[in-house]
Structure 1
Amino acid sequence: MRVRICAVGRLRAGPERLLLDDYLSRFDKTGRALGLGPAQVVEVEDRKGGGMTAEAALLERAVPEAAALWVLDERGRKLSSRDFAQELARHRDDGRGELALMIGGADGIDPALRARADMAISLGAMVWPHMLARVMLSEQLYRAASILSGSPYHRD
């Protein structure tokens, strides 16, 4: 199952970009034998200032047809890393060839896009910078692949 992180805004070169690339590379290597990956990041930018609605339209264009859609939202389900891994495996096992994970802009995800999503997940009650949310999500993808492969990376 291919994974696409669709995010509003551009991540410039720097430590966040290095971490993101590292975790996605690890996910690709670990997930390959599990039928997970490759993963890629698609960045969109609303240059006209249309707000959440405009961002939602740009994000939707980045989603492959028939992909499962998960949005990151502070009101979403708070999953443990094991639960996240199991949800990933369930979608893969259900024959979903694509998963799109959406990260909105500063104001979050448009309510209409959130309503259309297969699942809304939260990275916790704290608010995180959108650039760090990408890194945290990519680490959880790698952690999920590690859990599913039986690797000792994840410890309970």
Structure 2
Amino acid sequence: MRLHLCAVGRLRSGPERDLLDDYATRFDRTGRALSLGPLVQHEVEDKRGGGMGAEAELLARAVPAGALLAVLDERGAVLSSPELAQLLAGWRDGGRQDVAFVIGGADGIAPELRGRADFALSFGRMVWPHMLVRVMLAEQLYRAASILAGSPYHRV
């Protein structure tokens, strides 16, 4: 099952980019044997300043046809790492070919795109910088794959 990280904005070189690339590589290595991955990154940028609506259109175009749409939203489900691992395994075992995790820009995700989501995931009620959320998601995907692989990376 391919995973897609669709996000507003370009993540330039720096510590966030380094961490994101590191966790994506770890996920790809660990997930391969589990039929998870690769993690494909799609960055979109609204250069015309159209706001959340324009960002939503660009994000929707980045989501592969037929993909399960999972948005990162503060109103979404708050899961433990093992619960996320089981969710991914369930989607995979249910025959999903693609899952797209969508991260909005600084103002969030437009309601019309959020309303089309099959699932909404939250990293808690706090607001996180959208660039950092990419790193947090990639780490949690790697952690989920590690849990499913029985790796000692995740400790309870």
State the Cα RMSD in Å.
Answer: 0.6
Structure 1 spans left out of the alignment, 5+ residues: none
Deviations 1:16-72 (A, max 9, x none): 100000000000000000000000110000111111111010000001110011000
Amino acid at match of 2:13: A
| Residue in 2 that maps onto 1:137 | 137
| Residue in 2 that maps onto 1:125 | 125
Alignment of 1:5-16 (within 5 A): 5-16=5-16
Amino acid at match of 1:90: G
| Residue in 2 that maps onto 1:84 | 84
1:84 positional shift: 0.7
Deviations 1:128-151 (A, max 9, x none): 111110000000000000000010
Alignment of 1:36-55 (within 5 A): 36-55=36-55
| Residue in 2 that maps onto 1:22 | 22
What is the distance in 1 between the residues matched to 2:109 and 2:63?
Answer: 14
What is the distance in 2 between the residues matched to 1:98 and 1:132?
Answer: 23
What is the distance in 2 between the residues matched to 1:143 and 1:88?
Answer: 11
| Residue in 2 that maps onto 1:73 | 73
SS in 2 for 1:34: coil
| Residue in 2 that maps onto 1:94 | 94
1:127 positional shift: 1.0
What is the distance in 1 between the residues matched to 2:106 and 2:133?
Answer: 12
SS in 1 for 2:136: helix
1:125 positional shift: 1.5
SS in 2 for 1:55: helix
What is the distance in 1 between the residues matched to 2:86 and 2:55?
Answer: 29
| Residue in 2 that maps onto 1:146 | 146
What is the distance in 1 between the residues matched to 2:110 and 2:79?
Answer: 22
1:126 positional shift: 1.3
What is the distance in 2 between the residues matched to 1:118 and 1:88?
Answer: 13
| Residue in 1 that maps onto 2:59 | 59
Q: Percent identity?
A: 70
1:95 positional shift: 0.5
What is the distance in 2 between the residues matched to 1:41 and 1:128?
Answer: 19
SS in 1 for 2:33: helix
SS in 1 for 2:76: strand
Amino acid at match of 1:122: S
The count of aligned residue pairs is 156
What is the distance in 2 between the residues matched to 1:18 and 1:59?
Answer: 23
